[in-house]
């Protein structure tokens, strides 16, 4: 993905010299003529509701953090009333929500308050909501609410997302710091001109206020194949660095080295320290190893295959307290397995370290933000005499040196006490290939017989492997593999073979179908039995978020039609050759003896693609969808 | 309103059952199996205590879905002494959990609700080596006999052993009924108490295709109803629909103005204008918001509160209608209903199994049903969920169970007029005007209302997309979206993406650019319960054809006129060779209808015949013999 080009697109969207308000902040319940008259935005003319403004103010004082939020929306129609008529304000257990007010102002200017008794509280684990419904909502109404969230989460300030699910005319965030507080900011996809805040100082109390504003923000919508959405929405993460007063100094965050020392000492060393049984185990695993590679591989396979992967609460990294227990229980979390791997490699004489990363479906690691909460996974680095390897023993579908697709990240944080450092990861993904081979025949009654062999390799095994394991084989073949077949079918036979070390899964299925052929005037019109890419997921005109294909790969489909010799191929699909820098698609059809073969290949060169390439990608997927719909026609041979 | 349904749907709580059949042996299930299920329910004066003790063994990852358990708790039903033990394949304990260890989720009711005051405690075990077992036990204390719980059997997994008892004081009447269960309860007298016992072992999963409609919907239930209790200050005593209606009338007493209509003062005919204006007023001025707190599941909110907030749920809207119209001497009543997608009322077993409330106005020989939660329902039309269904009318003297009306195929019609132009490159240009009426009008009205322009185009493209052809939308728009009493129109201009298929100089044109089809599969016919359509419907396609001058020499072969009529519906094709443009008769008229709202198994063969005929393109293709 090209960040600069993407940011340019966001910049163009957001540039505006006109703010909805300027100078004084909007007053509760006071709606200006301009606000009443606000029309639908030109770039989003079928919006049902727009957010006139969304203002967040975070005030940090020694006794706590107060976050004030004030939102005002205009409803244009009944669908808009449904969209925003019910509100849920999310917060964490321990936060205090105060001064919650909400009302509807109907076009005649009358105000209808949300009564306190009509505000309910919901609970979801550690999260809470205050939820309510706006009264008297009708087209043309303005809905407004505000509240204060008081908490003491100094070391993890809430981030501010400029986007909402509705079109937002103005989104503004202010950070006010009492004297003594020092902070740092990390920007997520905020164009450069908007990164610098305006700054004010209150002469009386010396509070400093920093304000960021963005305007005309399109709504966040679900888009197919998006990566972690919050990777790419414009957001601001502030981190308190320290607080100094006449009486104390409190450091909220240290350098990366200090963070690394903390994590190594408090988490890694505590886990590895108690490791009875480790020495003997490593010795037995590596006894027959001829060289370093063999040693490392033996240890890796043991951790990957003999320690069962388990899950815990999100708040803990490990299932067991230490290595000794893990060796007894023979199970551990994904991260724990990699720390165990590090411990075992060190025992075997290797230099080895755990590395914290943020997986691609979780977020993007920002070195500017000194927060360990950025990371959600641990992988391992093993140093050999002639180089090193980055490994992850958590996925049973990944051989040594191949990281799972969610670990295809750029950087991580290597943990080595005071020598901890940020490193480049940049793994090379394996060749991921899906080959579908179909052999189609037809009997005298018009019933189509199809024999399909599918080979999945590379990351395709990771994609399908868990599904295969958690379903009955027949269910997997019928409900997953053949789900996209454009006709009813009867499954005759099937089989699945997994070759984990080679990262290969082979599947075969034979079935019959009446629906795959249409007989008109004696001509046979075959529908292609394609199982992938039958539907173009990219149907929206515009795209906001990058497209996440997860990994570079190839889809290769080959279908051979063998019909009785009394038929000849009357209409074959035309060859196609389409290319962009991201995707290549080509298709050929040819006659081989009396068989017709249609072969297509889609090559995806990049895992993550910026929205600027969307049009080209959409065009190719449309082409593929149409190509898969084309019928192969055989006509009876006419006797002279 | 949804207490019973919410309880039913909320958690995977199961109970004991008798032998499915004397000869049945439990099949070894690869995914999971219930080792034992024990449930003991005791009725104590006004309260009810349920004690449950179960164990399930998960045999493979395929069974993981059954390892996730959820236990509900509400103001009226307290969950106590919950204990969960996770065991390995040897039976050794590997984890113990109590209520405080589980994830608590409160306030999130059904998807249509803003708030519901029921809490769930979720147990989601970490993956273990297989097999592993989960043993759990708990008590549930119900404040009132109204909440006497229905017992549910897990019907998709085998059960090794089941034991269930219900104990209640002699003199208390409890009615019970089992569904899809061959075993009747054994009744025992224990001093001054009575006991009902169900026992079973080696119970196989149910084969749902062998079940009747009622058993299919209620499979695995032991329904228990107390014949006497007081709830929401209304006393229930009896076992009939009449008594149930009387009880609910008592609940509504403080909210509804029962006395505003005098006996025999109602007009012989219904004032339709008044009804229309009142119904439209509720639909147009009030927003549907469902908030269920305490008894709010059954009792409407205060009248002033509904007016002040301008929102409410089905009970609130029904109340508004009844109050308003009774004050104008219209005889109108609220009616309880179980929407069709939520289950089936067993008319032979009166109970409180409802989830919705509508209204009905009556004269001596006519009724007019209204569902004010339906924003796209004009007066005289209720949504399919309410149609052809049982409703309990709450009258001044008690409940009356009746059937709601059903619509006919002609009411729910798609009438399509298509002008097709084939250019010299055999690209098909079409202009389609589609008129939707009845349930189809209502359905698409509420969908189009939510769609962006982009989504409408995508909808049009998907409509015109078939196995063999795809079209690009040039223009699409709808008309009469806000006019509930007019048909809804959708107008599309489109162009095919590929030219017509041709073989040996014969091009094949499907004049029905929107592929007609009745979507049933072979497996739908393989059962003993009837097929219930949402609603009967009809589709009429009239097609006019014009071609480019380069094709005027071509010979057009129209399909044969043909008809099929059977007990399920009809289909017909009629043609008129007039390829001279859009004036005059259409080239082809294709129509079909599914006329029966319910199709009995003995008519499945006829349904299949109709489905195959309607779907057969061979019968409607126009052949263009090119020069």
Statement to judge: residues A414 and A463 lie in one domain: no
Torsion of the alpha carbons at A436, A442, A446 and A447, rounded to the nearest 10: -50
Q: What would the two tokens of residue B155 be? A: 């019907």
Domain that holds residue B274: 234-403
What confidence score (pLDDT) does residue A242 get?
Answer: 79
The answer to whether the Cβ–Cβ distance between B501 and A631 falls below 8 Å is yes
The residue with greater pLDDT, B129 or A441, is A441
- Mean pLDDT calculated for residue range A59-70: 95
Statement to judge: residues A628 and A596 lie in one domain: yes
Q: Which of A47, A123, A330 to mutate to test the interface with B (most CBs of B within 10 A)?
A: A123
pLDDT of B258 above 80: no
The answer to whether the Cβ–Cβ distance between A46 and B309 falls below 8 Å is no
The answer to whether the Cβ–Cβ distance between B522 and A112 falls below 8 Å is no
The whole-angstrom distance between B309's CA and the closest CA on chain A is 4
Statement to judge: residues A125 and A223 lie in one domain: yes
What confidence score (pLDDT) does residue B263 get?
Answer: 43
Statement to judge: residues B393 and B526 lie in one domain: no
Q: How far is Cα B376 from Cα B283, in angstroms, rounded to an integer?
A: 9
Of the ranges A71-75, A300-304, B1-5, B30-34, which one carries the lowest mean pLDDT score? Answer: B1-5
Q: Which of A306, A312, A520 to mutate to test the interface with B (most CBs of B within 10 A)?
A: A520
A535, A506 contact by CB (below 8 A): no
The answer to whether the Cβ–Cβ distance between B503 and A123 falls below 8 Å is no
Q: How far is Cα A468 from Cα B327, in angstroms, rounded to an integer?
A: 64
Torsion of the alpha carbons at A41, A47, A52 and A53, rounded to the nearest 10: -110
In the sheet with A553-562, reading across from the earlier edge strand, the strands are A490-499, A504-513, A448-457, A433-442, A553-562, A595-604, A583-592, A576-579
Of B127, B308, B504, the CB nearest to A635: B504
The answer to whether the Cβ–Cβ distance between B454 and A541 falls below 8 Å is yes
What confidence score (pLDDT) does residue B259 get?
Answer: 57
The answer to whether the Cβ–Cβ distance between A79 and B508 falls below 8 Å is no
- Mean pLDDT calculated for residue range B494-522: 87
- Mean pLDDT calculated for residue range B565-576: 94
Q: Which of B115, B291, B519, B557 to mutate to test the interface with A (most CBs of A within 10 A)?
A: B115
| B432 located within any domain | yes
Q: What would the two tokens of residue B123 be? A: 């147990």
pLDDT of A508 above 50: yes
Query: What are the tens digits of pLDDT across the range B147-164?
Result: 999 999 899 999 999 999
Asked if A165 has any chain B CB less than 8 Å from its own CB, the reply is no
- Mean pLDDT calculated for residue range A169-178: 95
Q: Are strands A553-562 and A433-442 parallel, antiparallel or unpaired?
A: parallel
Statement to judge: residues A502 and A622 lie in one domain: yes
| B522 located within any domain | yes
| A25 located within any domain | no
| B7 located within any domain | yes
Of the ranges A531-535, B479-483, B615-619, which one carries the lowest mean pLDDT score? Answer: B615-619
Q: How far is Cα B494 from Cα B473, in angstroms, rounded to an integer?
A: 4
pLDDT of A37 above 60: yes
Boundary (domain end) residue, out of B376, B403, B430: B403
The answer to whether the Cβ–Cβ distance between A135 and B62 falls below 8 Å is no
Boundary (domain end) residue, out of B372, B403, B434: B403
CATH number at residue A57: 2.60.40.3140
Statement to judge: residues B193 and B271 lie in one domain: no
Domain that holds residue A625: 433-636
The answer to whether the Cβ–Cβ distance between A79 and B450 falls below 8 Å is yes
Query: What are the tens digits of pLDDT across the range A317-335?
Result: 888 889 999 998 888 999 9
CB contact burial B405-419 (16+ within 10 A = b; e otherwise)? bbbbbebbbbbbbbb
pLDDT of B1 above 90: no
Bridge partners (DSSP) of residue A351 are A383
Angle at B265 between CA B263 and CA B269, to 5 degrees: 125
Statement to judge: residues B162 and B14 lie in one domain: yes
CATH number at residue B202: 2.60.40.3140
Statement to judge: residues A246 and A287 lie in one domain: no
Statement to judge: residues B22 and B164 lie in one domain: yes
Of B108, B126, B617, the CB nearest to A122: B108
Residue A497: alpha-carbon gap to chain centroid: 29
What confidence score (pLDDT) does residue A254 get?
Answer: 66
* Among chain B residues, CA nearest to A103: B309
C-beta neighbour count of B100 within 10 angstroms = 8
The answer to whether the Cβ–Cβ distance between A133 and B309 falls below 8 Å is yes
Cβ within 8 Å of residue B390, ≥6 positions away: B337, B338, B345, B347, B401, B402, B403, B404
The answer to whether the Cβ–Cβ distance between B467 and A81 falls below 8 Å is no
Asked if A331 has any chain B CB less than 8 Å from its own CB, the reply is yes
Of A123, A470, A520, the CB nearest to B107: A123
Statement to judge: residues B223 and B240 lie in one domain: no
Boundary (domain end) residue, out of B187, B210, B228: B228
Asked if A430 has any chain B CB less than 8 Å from its own CB, the reply is no
The whole-angstrom distance between B499's CA and the closest CA on chain A is 11
Average pLDDT, chain B: 88
Boundary (domain end) residue, out of A216, A234, A251: A251
The whole-angstrom distance between A518's CA and the closest CA on chain B is 9
Of A79, A310, A571, the CB nearest to B127: A310
Phi, psi (degrees; rounded to nearest 5) at B264: 60, 20
- Mean pLDDT calculated for residue range A425-440: 93
- Mean pLDDT calculated for residue range B451-461: 90
* Among chain A residues, CA nearest to B109: A122
Of B107, B470, B497, the CB nearest to A121: B107
| Inter-chain CB pairs, A–B, below 8 Å | 132
Q: How far is Cα A556 from Cα A587, in angstroms, rounded to an integer?
A: 10
Statement to judge: residues B16 and B65 lie in one domain: yes
* Among chain A residues, CA nearest to B522: A488
Please tell me the total count of domains within chain B.
3
Of B397, B338, B325, B328, the C-alpha closest to B368 is: B325
Statement to judge: residues B87 and B214 lie in one domain: yes
Q: Which of A86, A332, A573 to mutate to test the interface with B (most CBs of B within 10 A)?
A: A86
Residue B510: alpha-carbon gap to chain centroid: 35
What confidence score (pLDDT) does residue B550 get?
Answer: 86
- Mean pLDDT calculated for residue range B464-476: 83
Phi, psi (degrees; rounded to nearest 5) at B373: -85, -10
Statement to judge: residues A289 and A410 lie in one domain: yes
Statement to judge: residues B429 and B360 lie in one domain: no
What confidence score (pLDDT) does residue B581 get?
Answer: 67
In A452-491, the residues whose Cβ lies within 8 Å of chain B are: 469-472, 486-488
Of A46, A86, A488, the CB nearest to B453: A46
| A479 located within any domain | yes
What confidence score (pLDDT) does residue B11 get?
Answer: 29
CATH number at residue B241: 3.10.620.30
Statement to judge: residues A327 and A204 lie in one domain: no
Residues of B in contact with A635 (CB under 8 A): 503-504
Asked if A376 has any chain B CB less than 8 Å from its own CB, the reply is no
What confidence score (pLDDT) does residue B127 get?
Answer: 65
- Mean pLDDT calculated for residue range B470-479: 93
pLDDT of A384 above 80: yes
pLDDT of A65 above 50: yes
Q: What would the two tokens of residue A315 be? A: 């708040």
A54, A71 contact by CB (below 8 A): yes
pLDDT of A481 above 90: yes
The answer to whether the Cβ–Cβ distance between A120 and B308 falls below 8 Å is no
Statement to judge: residues B215 and B110 lie in one domain: yes
Boundary (domain end) residue, out of A396, A424, A452: A424
* Among chain B residues, CA nearest to A473: B62
The answer to whether the Cβ–Cβ distance between A308 and B470 falls below 8 Å is no
Q: How far is Cα A348 from Cα A285, in angstroms, rounded to an integer?
A: 10
Sorting pLDDT into bands at 50, 70 and 90, what band is A397?
A: confident
Boundary (domain end) residue, out of A403, A424, A445: A424
Query: What are the tens digits of pLDDT across the range B368-390?
Result: 999 999 999 999 899 999 999 99
Residues of A in contact with B95 (CB under 8 A): none
**pTM of this structure:** 0.88
Whole-angstrom CA distances from B399 to A105, A281, B229, B385, B495 are 43, 76, 17, 21, 57
Statement to judge: residues B45 and B113 lie in one domain: yes
The answer to whether the Cβ–Cβ distance between B311 and A112 falls below 8 Å is no
Residues of A in contact with B117 (CB under 8 A): 120
The answer to whether the Cβ–Cβ distance between A118 and B309 falls below 8 Å is yes
Residue B517: alpha-carbon gap to chain centroid: 22
The whole-angstrom distance between B421's CA and the closest CA on chain A is 22
Statement to judge: residues B456 and B569 lie in one domain: yes
Statement to judge: residues A357 and A443 lie in one domain: no
Asked if A334 has any chain B CB less than 8 Å from its own CB, the reply is no
The residue with greater pLDDT, A488 or B33, is B33
Tell me whether residue B366 is exposed, middle or buried, using C-beta atoms within 10 angstroms of its C-beta: 0 to 12, 13 to 18, 19 or more: exposed
What confidence score (pLDDT) does residue B15 get?
Answer: 32
Of A85, A123, A133, the CB nearest to B106: A123
B444, B436 contact by CB (below 8 A): yes
Statement to judge: residues A536 and A590 lie in one domain: yes
The answer to whether the Cβ–Cβ distance between B503 and A635 falls below 8 Å is yes
Q: How far is Cα B286 from Cα B271, in angstroms, rounded to an integer?
A: 23
Asked if A308 has any chain B CB less than 8 Å from its own CB, the reply is yes
pLDDT of B49 above 70: yes
Statement to judge: residues B323 and B381 lie in one domain: yes
What confidence score (pLDDT) does residue B25 get?
Answer: 32
Statement to judge: residues A247 and A340 lie in one domain: no
Please tell me the total count of domains within chain A.
3
Sign of the CA dihedral running B449, B454, B460, B463: negative
Statement to judge: residues A126 and A227 lie in one domain: yes
The whole-angstrom distance between A630's CA and the closest CA on chain B is 7
| B408 located within any domain | no
């Amino acid at each position: 993905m090209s960040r600069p080009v993407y940011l340019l697109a966001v910049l163009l969207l957001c540039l505006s010299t006109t703010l909805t308000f300027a100078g004084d902040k909007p007053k509760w319940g006071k709606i200006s003529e301009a606000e009443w008259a606000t029309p639908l935005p030109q770039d989003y003319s079928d919006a049902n509701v727009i957010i006139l403004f969304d203002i967040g103010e975070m005030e940090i004082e020694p006794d706590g953090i107060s976050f004030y939020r004030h939102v005002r929306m205009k409803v244009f129609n009944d669908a808009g009333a449904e969209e925003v008529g019910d509100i849920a304000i999310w917060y964490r257990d321990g936060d205090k929500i105060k001064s919650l007010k909400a009302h509807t102002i109907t076009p005649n200017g009358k105000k209808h308050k949300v009564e306190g008794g009509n505000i309910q509280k919901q609970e979801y684990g550690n999260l809470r909501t205050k939820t309510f419904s706006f009264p008297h909502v009708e087209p043309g109404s303005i809905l407004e609410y505000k509240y204060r969230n008081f908490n003491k989460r100094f070391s993890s300030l809430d981030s501010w997302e400029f986007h909402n699910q509705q079109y937002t005319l103005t989104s503004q965030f202010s950070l006010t710091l009492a004297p003594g507080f020092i902070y740092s900011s990390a920007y997520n996809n905020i164009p450069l001109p908007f990164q610098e805040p305006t700054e004010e100082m209150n002469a009386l109390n010396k509070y400093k206020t920093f304000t960021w504003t963005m305007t005309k923000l399109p709504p966040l919508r679900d888009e197919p194949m998006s990566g972690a959405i919050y990777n790419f929405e414009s957001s601001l993460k502030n981190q308190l660095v320290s607080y100094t007063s006449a009486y104390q100094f409190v450091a909220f965050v240290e350098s990366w080295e200090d963070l690394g020392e903390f994590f190594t000492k408090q988490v890694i060393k505590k886990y590895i320290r108690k490791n009875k049984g480790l020495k003997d185990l490593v010795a037995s695993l590596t006894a027959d190893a001829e060289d370093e590679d063999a040693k490392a591989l033996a240890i890796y396979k043991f951790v990957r295959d003999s320690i069962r992967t388990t899950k815990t609460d999100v708040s803990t990294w490990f299932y067991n307290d230490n290595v000794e227990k893990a060796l007894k229980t023979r199970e551990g979390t994904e991260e724990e397995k990699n720390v165990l791997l590090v411990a075992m490699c060190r025992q075997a004489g290797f230099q080895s370290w755990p590395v914290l990363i943020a997986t691609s479906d979780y977020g993007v690691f920002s070195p500017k933000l000194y927060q360990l909460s950025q990371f959600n996974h641990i992988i391992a680095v093993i140093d050999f005499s002639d180089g090193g390897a980055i490994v992850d023993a958590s996925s049973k579908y990944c051989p040594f040196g191949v990281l799972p697709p969610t670990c295809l990240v750029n950087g991580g944080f290597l943990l080595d006490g005071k020598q901890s450092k940020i490193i480049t990861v940049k793994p090379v993904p394996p060749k991921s290939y899906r080959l579908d081979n179909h052999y189609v025949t037809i009997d005298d009654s018009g019933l189509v017989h199809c024999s399909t062999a599918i080979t999945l390799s590379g990351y395709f095994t990771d994609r399908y492997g868990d599904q295969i394991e958690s379903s009955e084989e027949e269910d997997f073949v019928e409900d997953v593999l053949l789900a996209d077949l454009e006709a009813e079918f009867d499954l005759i036979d099937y089989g699945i073979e997994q070759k984990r070390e080679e990262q290969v899964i082979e599947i075969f299925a034979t079935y019959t179908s009446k629906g795959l052929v249409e007989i008109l005037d004696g001509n046979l019109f075959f529908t292609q039995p394609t199982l992938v890419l039958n539907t173009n997921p990219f149907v929206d005109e515009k795209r906001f978020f990058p497209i996440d294909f997860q990994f570079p790969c190839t889809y290769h489909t080959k279908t051979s039609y063998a019909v009785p010799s009394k038929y000849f191929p009357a209409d074959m699909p035309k060859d196609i050759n389409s290319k962009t820098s991201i995707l290549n698609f080509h298709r050929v059809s040819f006659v081989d003896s009396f068989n017709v073969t249609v072969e297509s290949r889609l090559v995806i060169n990049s895992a993550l693609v910026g929205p600027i390439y969307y049009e080209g990608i959409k065009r190719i997927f449309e082409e593929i969808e149409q190509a898969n719909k084309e019928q192969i026609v055989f006509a009876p041979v006419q006797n002279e | 309103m949804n207490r019973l349904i919410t309880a039913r749907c909320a958690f995977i709580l199961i109970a004991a059952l008798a032998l499915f059949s004397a000869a049945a042996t439990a099949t070894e299930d690869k995914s999971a199996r219930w080792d034992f299920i024990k449930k003991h329910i005791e009725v104590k004066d006004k309260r009810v205590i349920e004690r449950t003790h179960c164990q399930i063994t998960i045999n493979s990852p395929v069974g993981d879905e059954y390892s996730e358990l959820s236990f509900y708790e509400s103001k009226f039903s307290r969950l106590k002494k919950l204990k969960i033990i996770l065991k390995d394949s040897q039976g050794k304990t590997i984890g113990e959990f109590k209520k405080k260890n589980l994830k608590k989720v409160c306030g999130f009711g059904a998807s249509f609700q803003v708030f519901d005051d029921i809490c769930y405690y979720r147990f989601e075990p970490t993956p273990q080596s297989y097999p592993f077992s989960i043993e759990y036990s708990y008590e549930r204390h119900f404040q009132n006999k109204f909440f006497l719980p229905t017992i549910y059997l897990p019907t998709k997994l085998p059960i090794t052993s089941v034991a269930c008892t219900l104990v209640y004081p002699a003199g208390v009447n409890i009615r019970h009924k089992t569904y899809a269960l061959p075993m009747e309860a054994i009744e025992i007298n224990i001093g001054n108490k009575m006991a009902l016992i169900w026992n079973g072992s080696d119970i196989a999963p149910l084969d749902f295709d062998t079940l009747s409609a009622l058993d299919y919907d209620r499979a695995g239930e032991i329904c228990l109803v107390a014949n006497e209790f007081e709830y929401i200050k209304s006393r229930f005593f009896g076992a009939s629909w009449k008594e149930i209606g009387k009880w609910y009338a008592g609940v509504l007493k403080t909210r509804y103005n029962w006395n505003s209509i005098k006996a025999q003062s109602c007009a012989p005919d219904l004032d339709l204008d008044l009804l229309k204006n009142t119904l439209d007023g509720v639909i147009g001025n009030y927003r549907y918001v469902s908030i269920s707190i305490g008894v709010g599941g059954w009792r409407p909110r205060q009248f002033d509160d509904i007016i002040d907030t301008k929102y409410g749920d089905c009970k609130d809207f029904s109340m508004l209608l009844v109050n308003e119209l009774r004050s104008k001497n219209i005889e109108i009543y609220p009616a309880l209903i179980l929407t069709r997608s939520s289950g089936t009322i067993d008319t032979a077993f009166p109970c409180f199994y409802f989830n919705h409330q509508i209204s009905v106005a009556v004269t001596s020989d006519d009724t007019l049903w209204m569902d004010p939660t339906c924003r796209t329902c004009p007066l005289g039309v209720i949504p399919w969920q309410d149609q052809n269904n049982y409703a309990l009318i709450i009258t001044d003297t008690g409940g009356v169970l009746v059937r709601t009306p059903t619509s006919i195929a002609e009411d729910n019609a798609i009438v399509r007029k298509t002008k097709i132009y084939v250019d010299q490159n055999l690209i098909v240009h079409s202009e389609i005007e589609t008129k939707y009426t009845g349930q189809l009008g209502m359905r698409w009205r509420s969908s189009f209302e939510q769609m962006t322009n982009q989504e409408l185009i995508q909808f049009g493209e998907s409509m015109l997309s078939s196995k063999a052809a795809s079209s690009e939308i040039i223009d699409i728009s709808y008309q009469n979206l806000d006019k509930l009493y007019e048909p809804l129109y959708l107008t599309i201009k489109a162009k095919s993406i590929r030219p017509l298929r041709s073989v040996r100089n014969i091009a094949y044109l499907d004049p029905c650019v929107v592929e007609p089809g009745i979507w049933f599969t072979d497996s739908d016919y393989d059962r003993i319960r009837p097929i219930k359509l949402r609603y009967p419907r009809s589709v009429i396609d009239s097609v006019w054809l014009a071609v480019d001058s380069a094709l005027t020499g071509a010979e057009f072969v129209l399909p044969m006129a043909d008809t099929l009529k059977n007990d399920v519906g009809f289909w017909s094709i009629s043609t008129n060779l007039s390829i001279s443009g859009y004036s005059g008769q259409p080239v082809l008229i294709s129509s079909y209808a599914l006329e029966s709202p319910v199709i009995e198994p003995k008519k499945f063969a006829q349904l299949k015949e109709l489905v195959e005929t309607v779907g057969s393109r061979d019968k409607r293709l126009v052949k263009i013999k090119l020069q």
